[in-house]
Amino acid sequence: MAVISTPATLERAVPVLDNAEVLRIRNDFPVLNQLVNGQPLVYLDSGATSQNPMSVIEAEQEFYEQRNAAVHRGAHHLAVEATEVFEDARQTIAGFIGADYAETVWTSNATEGLNLISYALSNAALWAAQGRGGQELRGLALKPGDEIVVTEMEHHANLIPWQELAFRTGATLRYIPIEDDGSLRMDQAAAIIGPRTKVLAFTHASNVLGIINPVTELAALGHAAGALVVLDACQSAPHLPLDVKELDVDFAVFSGHKMLAPTGIGVLYGRQELLDILPPFLTGGSMITTVTMERAEYLPAPQRFEAGTQRISQAVAMAAAANYLTETGLDRIHAWEAALGQRMVAGLESIPGVRVLGPAAGKERIGLAAFDVEGVHAHDVGQFLDSQGIAVRVGHHCAQPLHRRLGLTATTRASAYLYNTTDDVDRFLQAVAGVRAYFRA
Amino acid sequence: MSLDQLYQQIILDHSKARHGSGLAATEAPAGTSTGQSHQLNPVCGDEVTLRLAVHDGKVAQVAWDGAGCSISMASASVLTDLAQGMTVAELHEVIDSFREVLRSRGKVHADPELLGDAAAFEGVARYAARVKCAMISWVAAEDALNQAA
């Protein structure tokens, strides 16, 4: 169902990823080479945060050793060099997602990106009410009676900013429910998305279910209704080839730390004509043209949304991460991780008392699986796995409404990345098979 | 430290036995003064609602409802057994001691004379992420005790 574009450069016949190549890849990640509780670390928590290859760590170090300066100001040599690598990094990330340079805005992370959109939209309502901004901006202003539509599977980061936007503007928040297997009820989507819908926000791939949503189908429904379409690409941009134009979304967000980059850096994609008219979220230095004591005029995107000194070394490192992924080949990474995801689910389903959330084995999913172990709390499952050197995430994974819908409060989640082998998955499965006996469940 | 030192036999036993569990089905004894406290750990969703009944300066009854990991459930069960019949001052002393051990990162050893079966939770102190699991019912008990006494 997912629309996956293949960049022209990758269309040559390249071998699929295999364990031998993954073991070579793993050598690029120093943190993975350690013992935890006496066992070689099996890191299966990349859905929460990923690890950094040497090329990323070195890119950040090189920036501080050779080029550190504030960007977009100062006439000195370092300032020019810093600005150059910072803007080159933006170009790299734009290419990484099929966006144009000026449509690529740096944020702290995806959460900030979603808050940026929601605050820009409520600011649009304030501006419109006071006659500020043009006719197009007035069309973006939410008001009572308008609707914001999300899905029942959203991460809190793609839910709460919309709850608060609804509160600030008087709009109503609605959601598309899911089936028991985690798939969206598209019949409901078609009924819910309509003329009142001003914003449609949904995740590309679920951080709990592993399911890939039909992005183009949803975007078409949203656009037919005249809504802005916002894509949470946190669990897709790091793992599969992504083209925001082909997916036909108006906004997309993702975080650097989930795609081999450091924490503190993320990206917002927005269609140029939207970014250029939306009011800013944060205001201050570096985003203005003329300032008087009474008022200010703002630069167009991307600077319009980049107030204050930016996360320069992190941006440079994020570009290095994108290059690492592109050179490895996102289509290959996606295929490898999908195979690991299938191995996880097939293995988990064969363990008595284990219930996997989301699509059953054989159905499309990304390389992660969240599951419940009957009679054992997720926290205890995680502790048991950690004692064998296996790192997983436990809890509600920032998706309480989804867990409630599935009748659970907490689950255990294993999430793979390009540096995980089939041995990692097998060690994880073997450990899970011992959980219920240990806790006498 | 091995997993078995964290999950001591007594903890695994109490996590299944859950002494005192069933708040809704239990009436507080007549003539007692009661306090009730609800505690939630938003990180993992562990939840405990605990009611404590005091009569003549002594704990007459502990009853609770909860959902959570084995450490949190076992801790509430052990607390129930331990608190029964204690004076208000004794229970305060035990709660203070338990908290000190749990927050010490393994530096303060539990006094088995004072803490009884709760001394088994000493190993939890070395797992920072699990300290709140062990503490949740004790925080509820302290709050309920302050209301009741």
**What is the 3-class SS of chain B, one letter each residue?**
CCHHHHCCHHHHHHHHHCCCECCCCCCCCCCCEEEEEEEEECCCCEEEEEEEEEECCEEEEEEEEEECCHHHHHHHHHHHHHHCCCEHHHHHHHHHHHHHHHCCCCCCCCCHHHHHHHHHHHHHHHCHHHHHHHHHHHHHHHHHHHHHC
CATH code, domain carrying B14: 3.90.1010.10
Is A115 within the bounds of a domain?
yes
pLDDT at A1: 46
DSSP string across B29-56 = PTT-EEEEEEEEETTTTEEEEEEEEEET
Of residues A380, A387, A396, nearest to B69 (C-beta) = A380
pLDDT at A12: 57
Is A1 within the bounds of a domain?
no
End-to-end CA distance of chain A: 38
Is A243 within the bounds of a domain?
yes
In the stretch 163-222 of chain A, residues with CB closer than 8 A to chain B read: none
Structure ipTM: 0.91
Is A3 within the bounds of a domain?
no
Query: Does A314 share its domain with A374?
Result: no
Query: Does A169 share its domain with A285?
Result: yes
How many domains does the structure of chain A reveal? 2
Cβ <8 Å between A440 and B71: no
CATH code, domain carrying A242: 3.40.640.10
- Listed residues A326, A360, A393: the one ending a domain: A326
- Quote the domain boundaries for residue B77: 3-23+32-148
- Quote the domain boundaries for residue A103: 58-326
Backbone angles phi, psi at A173, to 5 degrees: -95, 130
pTM of the prediction? Answer: 0.94
Q: How confident is the model at residue B149 (pLDDT cuts 50, 70, 90)?
A: confident
- Listed residues A326, A342, A374: the one ending a domain: A326
Residue by residue, pLDDT tens for chain A (441 residues) are 455 555 555 555 678 999 999 999 999 999 999 999 999 999 999 999 999 999 999 999 999 999 999 998 878 999 999 999 999 999 999 999 999 999 999 999 999 999 999 999 999 999 999 999 889 999 999 999 999 999 999 999 999 999 999 999 999 999 999 999 999 999 999 999 999 999 999 999 999 999 999 999 999 999 999 999 999 999 999 999 999 999 999 999 999 999 999 999 999 999 999 999 999 999 999 999 999 999 999 999 999 999 999 999 999 999 999 999 999 999 999 999 999 999 999 999 999 999 999 999 999 999 999 999 999 999 999 999 999 999 999 999 999 999 999 999 999 999 999 999 999 999 999 999 999 999 998
End-to-end CA distance of chain B: 40
State the nearest Cα–Cα gap between B12 and chain A, in angstroms: 7
Q: What is the DSSP letter of A103?
A: G
Gap between the Cα atoms of A365 and A351, Å rounded: 19
Residues on chain A touching B68 (C-beta within 8 angstroms): 377, 379
Best to test chain A binding among B15, B44, B124, B136 (most A CBs inside 10 Å): B44
Q: Is A398 a catalytic residue?
A: yes
Query: What does the pLDDT look like over B91-139, one tens digit per residue?
Result: 999 999 999 999 999 999 999 999 999 999 999 999 998 999 999 999 9
Is A156 within the bounds of a domain?
yes
Q: Which of A4, A49, A5 is nearest to A31 (CA)?
A: A49
CATH code, domain carrying A361: 3.90.1150.10
Query: What does the pLDDT look like over B48-93, one tens digit per residue?
Result: 999 999 999 999 999 999 999 999 999 999 999 999 999 999 999 9
Query: Could you say which of A36, A398, A408, A433 is catalytic?
Result: A398
Is A222 within the bounds of a domain?
yes
